Amino acid sequence: MSSSPFFLSAMGMVCALGSGHEEILANLLSGSQQGMVEDTTCMPGKAVTLGKVCVDLPVIETKGESSRNNRLLLAAFESIQGEVDRLVQRFGADRVGIVLGTSTSGTIEAEQAMIAHLSEGEYPSHYQYRIQEMGDPSRFLAGYLGLTGPAYTVSTACSSSGKVFASGRNLIRTGLCDAVIVGGVDSLCQLTVHGFSALESVSTGICQPFSVNRDGINIGEGAALFTMTTEAAPVALLGVGESSDAWHISAPHPEGKGAQKAMECALEDAGLQAEEIHYLNLHGTATPLNDAMESQAVFRVFGDKLCCSSSKTMTGHTLGAAGAIEAGLCWLLLSSMNDNGRLPPHLWDGQPDPELADIALTHSRSSLPTSPWRMMSNSFAFGGSNVSLILGQTDTEATL
């Protein structure tokens, strides 16, 4: 069990649901799919549905830094800037760390640079190789903010930015940092869309998690950042559970043993029983294998009573950013902005798969019981890399 509480004092996000707390929460609760759009740029000649960020992003003037990934990071950072400034003033720039998750980094810029090289014989003058390195997001953000504490990137595919919460917590526990910026970012690119298409895992339309008609994912993009400290705040990180079942290079364990272990470890870490969780944000990718194993794992841990849903029908699967973005959605649901305790609807065609375990998918009228509320969020990745997070309300009177 966690030896001391850790708090998520601020959160910033940009994704297909929009930017800013109020906009994202309103669109989440209404089931908006405004950012799920058909695109032909990531797979030339073929239209695919993607979760795209459609807001204006900050401009980065420094040569070799202006990747879409880094611009998404800065868009998410805007909502936590005041808290970061406070933490730096309180603890010092060397005592604030950064741990981010990504799986694409600056791949789209590398693709564009390669196209230019093939056609013109040289790379664009603004292109620098480091922009596509997995470590670039944390390196960039640390340099941009002038932070000199530990800064590194976790890249474990779709669990990347879920695992950063454990990493950030460890930096504080070991005394290396007093506060840590944790989160994740991924941007759309041809590499991932073509790659998942080659695996026959891309949906022909908007994905249908847990439906008998599910046929794959919609890839998305976005970023979410949090400030983590031991100073009391309205939302706490209560528990983290990690597992690695290593069943297959791309397929999950068919019975969801690794997923189950991650959820059970998160509950143990938080010192909670299954019945003390009020909502679960499912990994819910809408691939045949993932939904089958996750439904079994969830049913074994929680039975058929816990309200749960997949948000990927509204954001797309944001890959390395998914863990942080979906934790961010839970953060918003736990905030004072959601004072009537509404839960997001599970958007699908309403056609259950009789082969799946009967878990309690939310509908438009689902709501939370009496507070304080506790929520779990699942992220499962290639190679059996699994993480489950538990966030909860605290008794502090501060508002978000």
317 is catalytic: yes
Q: Do strands 279-281 and 179-186 pair parallel, antiparallel, or not at all (unpaired)?
A: unpaired
Q: Locate tokens 């959160």: which residue?
A: 11
- Which sign does the torsion angle of CA 142, 147, 148, 154 carry? negative
117 is catalytic: no
Query: Residues 15, 21, 42, 158: which is the catalytic one?
Result: 158
283 is catalytic: yes
Token readout for 363 is 């509908």
249 in Cβ contact with 210 (< 8 Å) = no
Query: Residues 42, 283, 308, 330: which is the catalytic one?
Result: 283
- Cα angle value 74/156/131 (rounded, 5°): 40
308 in Cβ contact with 277 (< 8 Å) = no
217: helix, strand or coil: strand
The count of residues in the chain is 400
Query: Residues 21, 253, 278, 317: which is the catalytic one?
Result: 317
Q: Locate tokens 């669990």: which residue?
A: 159
16: helix, strand or coil: coil
The beta-strand segments (E) located in 40-140 are 48-51, 96-101
Q: What is the distance between the alpha carbons of residues 242 and 244, in angstroms, rounded to a whole number?
A: 7
Catalytic residue list: 158, 283, 317
